[in-house]
Structure 1
Amino acid sequence: MGLLADSLDKADTAHFTRPIPKSARTQMQYLVKQTKGTKAAADLLGITQRTVERYLKGQIKHPRRELAERLAAEVRKRWQPRVRDRAKQQAATTGGIYIDTRARFGFTAAPGTTDDPRLRPITQGLPPDYAQLLFDAHAAGATEQQLQNIVAEGLQEIYFKDRGQRAQGLLVELTDIDYIDVDY
């Protein structure tokens, strides 16, 4: 995944009301329950079905580092889906999202204006419309570039054009992202 998709996933975890399971056994139990079988969980993690069964029985307690990270990531993706949906629904209807980024912004603007790309730190709230667009695109499996285009359009309208009050012909391009954090 990319920076923006990872940031959206990280923003989801901020709304959890309970921590994810800590031990490999309980994480594996949760993943098997969510995927409805040991074979599906094994395929998802890239391990054998027998290895999954050994985790469930407690025969293996400490996974390799890369397996532990994959296991925790898969559990985190599926943890508390109703809590995630409620937070997203609130952001998409009333709250909006907040973008904190440092990226290179280039502009296509009228002659005589500065349109040289430059690195800018920006922290800006975007209205619920853009939150809904971003969530829908992320859920549909949009590419990182498509997600960036949605954020660039939102920043263009809200930050640079001040909701249509200035810079009418300005088109913003978001490139070279140093960091980006999404919160809602």
Structure 2
Amino acid sequence: MTADDVLRAARTRAKIMDGIARAERALFTRAAPKSARAQMKFLRTREKGSTKSLAERLGVSRKTVQRYLSGASTKPNKRLQETLVQETESEWQPQVRAQGRQRAASSGGLIISCRAYFGFGPEGTSDAGRVRDISVAVSSSHAAAILAAQEDGATESDLHDAVAEAIADTYFCQSGDGRAGLEVKFADVEWLNIQF
């Protein structure tokens, strides 16, 4: 695997992880805290009231956390703001997120929409590789594999392979058309959206 392939795989993994995170945010029944103070208060409860562990989690000093909690500071720098949003959303409504993941893995499946390079046939045929816009409803078994890989911290290639297999089985190998076990190339992902 070349350095370019590794970089491409890392970008694809980031797009898949971002797609899953956006899909989970769409499940929220209440909006996550918006102000820096509210986000700090929420995250402090997740850290069992410890400002020290919250400061370590956010990569700031304990004094900075205390300033936001007291209201002395209200406008975080860009890095801290992004970290606050990311950490708050990752902890927000865990039961709603778990129920959505369970439903997708047991009965509902996922809807994956993307624009990427797909192909499995020789040049000059309709199956030849090209950039395609694809939107498919993948089965619950594929959804379970993708979500399990994401939860287990799968490597770039493992997560990529799980999504590629789900799309290939659903889009290219539809119900016994003689293409079972087909090797589909899935690369150069331009965008990817996932819905529960």
**TM-score normalised according to structure 1 size:** 0.92
Aligned to 1:93: 106
- Report the CA distance shift for 1:171/1:48 in structure 2 as closer, same or farther (over 3 A): same
Q: Is contact 1:5–1:144 with CA below 8 Å preserved after alignment?
A: no
What residue ranges of structure 1 are gaps of 5+ in the alignment? none
Provide the rounded CA distance (Å) in 2 between the counterparts of 1:119 and 1:110: 15
Please say if 1:138 is aligned against 2:150. Answer: yes
Provide the rounded CA distance (Å) in 2 between the counterparts of 1:119 and 1:111: 14
What residue ranges of structure 2 are gaps of 5+ in the alignment? 1-12
Q: Structure 1 vs Structure 2: percent identity of aligned residues?
A: 38
Provide the rounded CA distance (Å) in 2 between the counterparts of 1:142 and 1:168: 25
Once the two structures are TM-superposed, the CA of residue 104 in structure 1 deviates from its matched residue by: 0.3
Once the two structures are TM-superposed, the CA of residue 115 in structure 1 deviates from its matched residue by: 5.9
Over aligned residues, Cα RMSD in angstroms? Answer: 1.9
Counterpart secondary structure, 1:159 = helix
Once the two structures are TM-superposed, the CA of residue 160 in structure 1 deviates from its matched residue by: 0.3
Provide the rounded CA distance (Å) in 1 between the counterparts of 2:113 and 2:122: 27
Once the two structures are TM-superposed, the CA of residue 68 in structure 1 deviates from its matched residue by: 1.0
Size of the alignment, in residue pairs? 183
Once the two structures are TM-superposed, the CA of residue 20 in structure 1 deviates from its matched residue by: 0.6
Counterpart residue identity of residue 32, structure 2:
I
Q: Is contact 1:99–1:180 with CA below 8 Å preserved after alignment?
A: yes
Q: Is contact 2:115–2:131 with CA below 8 Å preserved after alignment?
A: yes
Provide the rounded CA distance (Å) in 2 between the counterparts of 1:50 and 1:80: 28
Provide the rounded CA distance (Å) in 2 between the counterparts of 1:112 and 1:22: 53
Once the two structures are TM-superposed, the CA of residue 110 in structure 1 deviates from its matched residue by: 8.1
Aligned to 1:59: 72
Of 23, 35, 60 in structure 1, the residue corresponding to residue 35 of structure 2 is: 23
Q: Is contact 2:122–2:128 with CA below 8 Å preserved after alignment?
A: no
Provide the rounded CA distance (Å) in 1 between the counterparts of 2:181 and 2:80: 50
Aligned to 1:41: 54
Please say if 1:161 is aligned against 2:173. Answer: yes
Once the two structures are TM-superposed, the CA of residue 45 in structure 1 deviates from its matched residue by: 1.3
Counterpart residue identity of residue 26, structure 1:
A
Q: Is contact 1:101–1:179 with CA below 8 Å preserved after alignment?
A: yes
Provide the rounded CA distance (Å) in 2 between the counterparts of 1:87 and 1:94: 11
